[in-house]
Amino acid sequence: MRKVFQEELTQVGEQLVEISKLVSEAVEKATTAFVGADIDLAEDVIAADARIDFLQNSLDERAIDILALQGPVASDLRMIVGSLRMSASLERMGDLARHIAQLARLRYPATVVPAQLRETFKSFAEQDLLIAEKLTVLLETRDLEVAREIMKANAAVNDLHLSVFKAIARSDWQESPATTVDVALASRYFERFADHGVSVAQKVTYLVTGAWQPSAIEHS
Protein backbone atom coordinates (compact mmCIF):
# COMPACT_ATOMS: atom_id res chain seq x y z
CA MET A 1 0.00 0.00 0.00
CA ARG A 2 2.81 2.42 0.86
CA LYS A 3 4.47 1.76 -2.51
CA VAL A 4 1.24 2.58 -4.33
CA PHE A 5 0.89 5.74 -2.25
CA GLN A 6 4.40 6.92 -3.15
CA GLU A 7 3.76 6.19 -6.82
CA GLU A 8 0.62 8.33 -6.66
CA LEU A 9 2.58 11.19 -5.06
CA THR A 10 5.20 10.88 -7.78
CA GLN A 11 2.50 11.09 -10.45
CA VAL A 12 1.12 14.26 -8.86
CA GLY A 13 4.58 15.82 -9.00
CA GLU A 14 4.99 14.77 -12.63
CA GLN A 15 1.64 16.32 -13.53
CA LEU A 16 2.71 19.61 -11.95
CA VAL A 17 5.84 19.58 -14.11
CA GLU A 18 3.76 18.80 -17.21
CA ILE A 19 1.42 21.72 -16.51
CA SER A 20 4.40 23.99 -15.85
CA LYS A 21 5.93 23.08 -19.21
CA LEU A 22 2.66 23.88 -20.97
CA VAL A 23 2.47 27.22 -19.17
CA SER A 24 6.03 28.01 -20.27
CA GLU A 25 5.14 27.18 -23.87
CA ALA A 26 1.97 29.27 -23.62
CA VAL A 27 3.69 32.38 -22.33
CA GLU A 28 6.49 32.06 -24.88
CA LYS A 29 3.98 31.96 -27.74
CA ALA A 30 1.71 34.59 -26.18
CA THR A 31 4.48 37.12 -25.65
CA THR A 32 5.85 36.53 -29.15
CA ALA A 33 2.36 37.07 -30.54
CA PHE A 34 1.91 40.16 -28.39
CA VAL A 35 5.19 41.82 -29.35
CA GLY A 36 5.05 40.84 -33.04
CA ALA A 37 1.29 40.86 -33.74
CA ASP A 38 1.36 37.18 -34.72
CA ILE A 39 -2.26 36.09 -35.03
CA ASP A 40 -1.46 32.41 -35.60
CA LEU A 41 0.53 32.12 -32.38
CA ALA A 42 -2.16 34.00 -30.51
CA GLU A 43 -4.79 31.53 -31.70
CA ASP A 44 -2.56 28.61 -30.71
CA VAL A 45 -2.28 29.90 -27.14
CA ILE A 46 -6.01 30.52 -26.82
CA ALA A 47 -6.87 27.04 -28.08
CA ALA A 48 -4.19 25.28 -25.99
CA ASP A 49 -5.39 26.75 -22.69
CA ALA A 50 -8.07 24.06 -22.49
CA ARG A 51 -5.32 21.45 -22.12
CA ILE A 52 -3.90 23.25 -19.08
CA ASP A 53 -7.36 23.45 -17.54
CA PHE A 54 -7.94 19.74 -18.15
CA LEU A 55 -4.63 18.74 -16.56
CA GLN A 56 -5.26 20.94 -13.55
CA ASN A 57 -8.66 19.33 -12.99
CA SER A 58 -7.12 15.88 -13.40
CA LEU A 59 -4.37 16.65 -10.90
CA ASP A 60 -6.81 18.05 -8.38
CA GLU A 61 -9.06 15.01 -8.65
CA ARG A 62 -6.06 12.71 -8.14
CA ALA A 63 -4.90 14.69 -5.11
CA ILE A 64 -8.37 14.68 -3.55
CA ASP A 65 -8.60 10.91 -4.05
CA ILE A 66 -5.26 10.49 -2.27
CA LEU A 67 -6.49 12.60 0.63
CA ALA A 68 -9.69 10.58 0.87
CA LEU A 69 -8.24 7.10 0.47
CA GLN A 70 -4.72 7.20 1.87
CA GLY A 71 -4.96 9.43 4.95
CA PRO A 72 -1.51 11.02 4.46
CA VAL A 73 0.27 12.72 7.35
CA ALA A 74 3.08 15.25 7.90
CA SER A 75 5.24 15.96 4.84
CA ASP A 76 3.09 13.85 2.52
CA LEU A 77 0.04 15.87 3.49
CA ARG A 78 1.93 19.11 2.85
CA MET A 79 2.91 17.81 -0.57
CA ILE A 80 -0.67 17.01 -1.56
CA VAL A 81 -2.20 20.24 -0.26
CA GLY A 82 0.68 22.23 -1.74
CA SER A 83 0.15 20.54 -5.09
CA LEU A 84 -3.51 21.53 -5.10
CA ARG A 85 -2.57 25.15 -4.50
CA MET A 86 0.29 25.13 -6.99
CA SER A 87 -1.91 23.67 -9.71
CA ALA A 88 -4.34 26.55 -9.19
CA SER A 89 -1.54 29.10 -9.60
CA LEU A 90 -0.21 27.36 -12.70
CA GLU A 91 -3.69 27.25 -14.21
CA ARG A 92 -4.06 30.96 -13.55
CA MET A 93 -0.72 31.59 -15.26
CA GLY A 94 -2.08 29.76 -18.29
CA ASP A 95 -5.16 32.00 -18.21
CA LEU A 96 -2.98 35.11 -18.09
CA ALA A 97 -0.95 33.91 -21.07
CA ARG A 98 -4.26 33.44 -22.86
CA HIS A 99 -5.33 36.99 -21.94
CA ILE A 100 -2.09 38.34 -23.42
CA ALA A 101 -2.73 36.37 -26.62
CA GLN A 102 -6.32 37.63 -26.74
CA LEU A 103 -5.11 41.22 -26.62
CA ALA A 104 -2.77 40.49 -29.51
CA ARG A 105 -5.66 38.98 -31.48
CA LEU A 106 -7.97 41.87 -30.64
CA ARG A 107 -5.62 44.51 -32.06
CA TYR A 108 -4.24 42.50 -35.00
CA PRO A 109 -2.75 43.55 -37.44
CA ALA A 110 -1.60 46.42 -35.20
CA THR A 111 0.52 45.82 -32.14
CA VAL A 112 -1.06 46.46 -28.75
CA VAL A 113 1.50 48.87 -27.31
CA PRO A 114 2.79 52.13 -28.79
CA ALA A 115 6.40 52.43 -29.95
CA GLN A 116 7.55 54.20 -26.79
CA LEU A 117 6.71 51.17 -24.62
CA ARG A 118 7.73 48.32 -26.90
CA GLU A 119 11.10 47.79 -25.24
CA THR A 120 9.42 47.75 -21.85
CA PHE A 121 7.05 45.01 -22.93
CA LYS A 122 9.85 43.05 -24.55
CA SER A 123 11.53 43.08 -21.15
CA PHE A 124 8.24 42.02 -19.54
CA ALA A 125 8.10 39.07 -21.94
CA GLU A 126 11.68 38.06 -21.20
CA GLN A 127 11.17 38.11 -17.44
CA ASP A 128 7.87 36.23 -17.53
CA LEU A 129 9.34 33.56 -19.78
CA LEU A 130 12.34 33.27 -17.47
CA ILE A 131 10.03 32.78 -14.49
CA ALA A 132 8.03 30.11 -16.33
CA GLU A 133 11.15 28.21 -17.34
CA LYS A 134 12.63 28.44 -13.85
CA LEU A 135 9.39 27.13 -12.34
CA THR A 136 9.70 23.90 -14.30
CA VAL A 137 13.28 23.50 -13.10
CA LEU A 138 12.21 24.26 -9.53
CA LEU A 139 9.41 21.70 -9.59
CA GLU A 140 11.79 19.08 -10.97
CA THR A 141 14.71 19.78 -8.64
CA ARG A 142 13.38 21.70 -5.60
CA ASP A 143 16.56 23.75 -5.78
CA LEU A 144 15.92 26.80 -3.62
CA GLU A 145 18.51 28.83 -5.53
CA VAL A 146 16.13 28.60 -8.48
CA ALA A 147 13.33 29.90 -6.23
CA ARG A 148 15.50 32.91 -5.40
CA GLU A 149 16.09 33.53 -9.11
CA ILE A 150 12.31 33.59 -9.60
CA MET A 151 11.96 36.16 -6.83
CA LYS A 152 14.63 38.31 -8.47
CA ALA A 153 12.90 38.16 -11.84
CA ASN A 154 9.61 39.08 -10.17
CA ALA A 155 11.22 42.20 -8.67
CA ALA A 156 12.24 43.23 -12.20
CA VAL A 157 8.66 42.68 -13.40
CA ASN A 158 7.32 44.84 -10.58
CA ASP A 159 9.66 47.65 -11.62
CA LEU A 160 8.49 47.36 -15.23
CA HIS A 161 4.86 47.40 -14.14
CA LEU A 162 5.44 50.58 -12.14
CA SER A 163 7.21 52.21 -15.08
CA VAL A 164 4.23 51.56 -17.36
CA PHE A 165 1.80 53.27 -15.00
CA LYS A 166 4.16 56.18 -14.61
CA ALA A 167 4.34 56.49 -18.40
CA ILE A 168 0.57 56.56 -18.94
CA ALA A 169 0.14 59.07 -16.09
CA ARG A 170 2.57 61.59 -17.56
CA SER A 171 1.22 64.80 -19.02
CA ASP A 172 2.85 64.07 -22.39
CA TRP A 173 1.01 60.75 -22.86
CA GLN A 174 -0.99 61.28 -26.04
CA GLU A 175 -2.36 57.82 -26.84
CA SER A 176 -6.07 57.07 -27.26
CA PRO A 177 -8.22 55.85 -24.38
CA ALA A 178 -8.40 52.39 -26.00
CA THR A 179 -4.61 52.14 -26.22
CA THR A 180 -4.25 53.36 -22.65
CA VAL A 181 -6.62 50.67 -21.40
CA ASP A 182 -4.85 48.00 -23.48
CA VAL A 183 -1.46 49.00 -22.10
CA ALA A 184 -2.70 49.04 -18.51
CA LEU A 185 -4.34 45.64 -18.91
CA ALA A 186 -1.32 44.11 -20.59
CA SER A 187 0.98 45.39 -17.87
CA ARG A 188 -1.32 43.90 -15.26
CA TYR A 189 -1.38 40.52 -17.02
CA PHE A 190 2.40 40.35 -17.21
CA GLU A 191 2.72 41.40 -13.57
CA ARG A 192 0.13 38.90 -12.32
CA PHE A 193 1.75 36.09 -14.27
CA ALA A 194 4.99 36.73 -12.41
CA ASP A 195 3.18 36.99 -9.07
CA HIS A 196 1.62 33.58 -9.49
CA GLY A 197 5.04 32.21 -10.37
CA VAL A 198 6.27 33.55 -7.04
CA SER A 199 3.34 31.87 -5.32
CA VAL A 200 4.40 28.49 -6.71
CA ALA A 201 8.02 29.15 -5.72
CA GLN A 202 6.94 29.98 -2.17
CA LYS A 203 5.02 26.73 -1.89
CA VAL A 204 7.97 24.69 -3.12
CA THR A 205 10.14 26.48 -0.58
CA TYR A 206 7.64 25.52 2.12
CA LEU A 207 7.72 21.88 1.04
CA VAL A 208 11.51 21.86 1.26
CA THR A 209 11.99 23.85 4.47
CA GLY A 210 8.69 23.51 6.35
CA ALA A 211 8.70 27.30 6.85
CA TRP A 212 5.84 29.26 5.36
CA GLN A 213 6.08 32.86 4.18
CA PRO A 214 2.60 34.22 3.39
CA SER A 215 2.05 35.47 -0.13
CA ALA A 216 0.17 38.71 -0.74
CA ILE A 217 -1.22 37.31 -4.00
CA GLU A 218 -2.62 34.10 -2.55
CA HIS A 219 -6.24 34.89 -3.32
CA SER A 220 -5.80 37.05 -6.42
For position 92, which CATH number holds?
A: 1.20.58.220
Q: Torsion angle, CA of 198/200/203/209, rounded to 10 degrees?
A: -70
Q: Which domain holds residue 173?
A: 2-209
Domain count within the chain: 1
The pTM is what? Answer: 0.92
pLDDT in tens, 152-162: 999 999 999 99
219 within some domain = no
217 within some domain = no
- The yes-or-no verdict on residue 199 having pLDDT over 80 is yes
218 within some domain = no
7 within some domain = yes
Residue 29, CA distances (Å) to 35, 40, 74, 165 in order:
10, 10, 39, 25
pLDDT in tens, 14-72: 999 999 999 999 999 999 999 999 999 999 999 999 999 999 999 999 988 888 777 66
150 within some domain = yes
Q: From CA 125, how far away is CA 39, in angstroms rounded?
A: 17
